[in-house]
Structure 1
Amino acid sequence: MSKEKMSVIDGTCAERFSWPVEHLGQDEHGTWLGARRGNPVRQPDGRREEAQEHDAVWLVAEGAWFLPAFWFTDSTDLTIDICTPPRLDGGVWSFIDLELDLFRSTDGRAGIVDQDEFDELARSGHLTDSQIATATEVAQSLLPLVQMEAEPFGGAARAWLRSLRAST
């Protein structure tokens, strides 16, 4: 299975990054996917591949306009792409990245980043007013949950990371 990150370019959806992921399972929060350190990540030019730097798990919550990635590194616990709802088609997960992101560092600091990239995308005319409003609302509503480590942004992902690391 592969996960592809999509972005709006010149009014069309184009592949941005892609990498294989393992389906770990499902729970009350959604579908959990994982990939180990060293996993190949194809870059936007489609010609370069780099190795994923850390083990990670992703949560796909049905109909959600976000995709959290749990990294558990020395500096970053969590990043969240604000995006169109991820969908599975022919074994490939895809979404349109709306460029607005959230993060939580290991010291507990959390915030919204890439506002300038989101604003530029919004000004480009490639997003509807509804998409702009939804993305903004989702980011603002998720921030306090991320800060409080409310589930699924708390410890739930650690069990899935252990599951990923235990599988061979």
Structure 2
Amino acid sequence: MSHEMVNVVYRKYDGSLHWNHRALLLGEDDHGVWTGCLAGASASKGIAPPITWQHAFVMLFPRDAWWTASFNAAPHKAEIYCDISTVPQWSDGQVTMVDLDLDVIRMRDGRIILDDEDEFAEHQIRYAYPPDVIETARATAGLLMEAVTTGTAPFSTAPHWLSQVT
């Protein structure tokens, strides 16, 4: 099965390059657009040398929400990793969003973590986040904590898309 490749580009609020990598475009459903990466794929943080992922994963890019989500294949210790971000924007084979620091993580052992609150506080000052961006990021993190904790779709079971990359 051949898939179109897309560029996944996270930036920081000042426009600087953050995490970026290539991914397979898998398809769309009611939750948004899904991409996948095979074990052994690589990514770069900013302009740093690439790192290699040991485990396959799929990513969900919702159409109108301030987050993205990664669903990791076992034995990755984080089952689900959600980045609070601006709404993903698609253009010319690329999806781009601004990473807003906060992360909601469901560990494979069931723990739910709200991560990088310190970075979020620092970056509100460094990047001068507008009040509406701060408010939306916090509200989105709260909604995701609830959805991931209760297993609301798409966080109920491993997405079928994961079988396309494992």
The TM-score normalised by the length of structure 2 is 0.91
Q: Which runs of 5+ in 2 are unaligned?
A: 1-5
* Residue number in structure 2 paired with 1:117: 119
Aligned mates of 1:121, 1:58 — CA distance in 2: 25
Give the RMSD, CA atoms, in angstroms. Answer: 1.3
Structure 1 position 156, deviation (Å): 5.0
Secondary structure of the 1:64 match is: coil
Q: Indicate conservation of the 8 Å contact 1:2/1:21, yes or no.
A: yes
Q: Indicate conservation of the 8 Å contact 1:30/1:62, yes or no.
A: yes
Q: Indicate conservation of the 8 Å contact 1:71/1:77, yes or no.
A: yes
* Residue number in structure 2 paired with 1:108: 110
Structure 1 position 125, deviation (Å): 4.8
Aligned mates of 1:132, 1:52 — CA distance in 2: 31
* Residue number in structure 2 paired with 1:2: 7
Question: Any runs of at least 4 consecutive aligned residues in structure 1 with deviations exceeding 6 A, and if so which?
Answer: none
Q: Which runs of 5+ in 1 are unaligned?
A: none
Q: Indicate conservation of the 8 Å contact 2:102/2:115, yes or no.
A: yes
The TM-score normalised by the length of structure 1 is 0.90
* Residue number in structure 1 paired with 2:69: 68
1:37-52 aligned within 5 A: 37-46=39-48, 48-52=49-53
Secondary structure of the 2:149 match is: helix
Change over 3 Å in CA distance of 1:43–1:142 after alignment to 2: closer
Structure 1 position 26, deviation (Å): 0.8
Number of residue pairs matched by the alignment: 160
